[in-house]
Amino acid sequence: MLHPRYKQKSPAMLCHAIPLGFTSAMAMASSSLTVLLSFIFLAIAAAEPASGTAQHFLGVNYGRLGDDLPPPHIALEFARSAGAAAVRFYDANATFLAAAASSGLGFVPAVPNELIVSLAASQRAADAWVASTLLPFRRNRRLRYLFVGNEVLSDPTTKSRWSRLVPAITNLRRALRRHGLSRVKVSTTLGMDALVGQNVFPPSAGVFRPDIIDVAVRPLLAFLERTDSYLFFDAYTYFTWSANHTIVPLTYALLEPSPAPGFQYHDPGTGLSYTNLLDHMLDAVVAAMCRAGYCGVRLALAETGWPNAGDLNEFGANVRNAA
């Protein structure tokens, strides 16, 4: 059983995909210590045509922890048949990347957290990793992004990786360029716990934690701005709503219309009004980026979702709300 914070989600998620009413995308069920979670992966401009116009679409996160899992070609075909346009992995397993590359889906490999320090320390190691892992897919235009680590800044027990995140990202980008993969944008994913107290009330109050801002966040934002890449965030409206259910109604977190006269959250700092919690949360990240001095960095949603089951004290976690 996996805690919600562990993002190596089971491919069984793909086998229990259900349509999300407000996105016509896919939700994926994954077991955790206390809840079953639904997740979607939103790739913004994961493929940009020559015109420069960004293509917005939805895809799935594909983890591999679990038993009785379907072969990758079956799971990927199911993802495609359900409407997914891309698949994101939590590592760079050659078998799964090859299956994704031949599936017609966009695909996003990842560098595991445990490799960050070694890749930051050695350009030769970064060159070797790209050559052995991604070079076979050099001609596949559906390979557009590489994620380096997953919510690295969420784990206080591995602080040694925090300062090495951007050096690893920089070495890998240099290696990609050397191997004819300069089109591949390099980034990482952050969780809402990158904000002080995960506070999003109001959105304009968003600020990055002081223990990560100088050691990792500002260098990361500077890199993303310089390379025209995206900051990818994981934003689960369930967790924010469940901790603040006396402030905002359930419909606000589910992106559903509120009963008349309709609920809106007003931000006194900006004068903006919000009709759903997802926009609300992402604007808190934007506010944090602006406070860090990087208003121009583009933001993309890596994960979101809702639990389809939970313990008695986890109210709101049910199939209807997940759907």
Considering the candidates 48, 151, 256, 314, report the single residue annotated as catalytic.
151
**CA torsion through residues 237, 76, 94, 223, sign:** negative
Give the Cα separation of 197 and 266 in Å (integer): 20
Both tokens of 172, joined, read 């890998």
Q: Among positive and negative, which fits the CA dihedral 95, 98, 103, 105?
A: positive
Which contacts of 100-105 are long-range, i.e. CB under 8 A and separated by 24 or more positions? 100/72, 100/76, 101/137, 101/140, 101/142, 101/143, 103/73, 103/76, 103/77, 104/80, 104/142, 105/59, 105/76, 105/79, 105/80, 105/142
Of 48, 256, 303, 314, the catalytic one is 303
Degrees to nearest 5, angle at CA 234 with 321 and 193: 105
Residue 66 identity: G
Residue in the block written with tokens 């960004």: 54
Known catalytic membership, residue 151? yes
Helix (H) or strand (E) holding 301: strand 298-303
Residue 303 is among the residues annotated as catalytic for this protein: yes
The DSSP symbol for 55 reads P
Nearest Cα to 136, choosing from 174, 112, 113, 107? Answer: 107
Helix (H), strand (E) at residue 245: none
- Which among 57, 65, 67, 87 is positioned nearest to 75, based on CA atoms? 87
Q: Where are the alpha helices (DSSP H) in the chain?
A: 12-15, 72-81, 94-101, 116-121, 123-133, 165-178, 210-212, 218-227, 237-243, 250-253, 277-291, 319-322
The residues that are catalytic are 151, 303
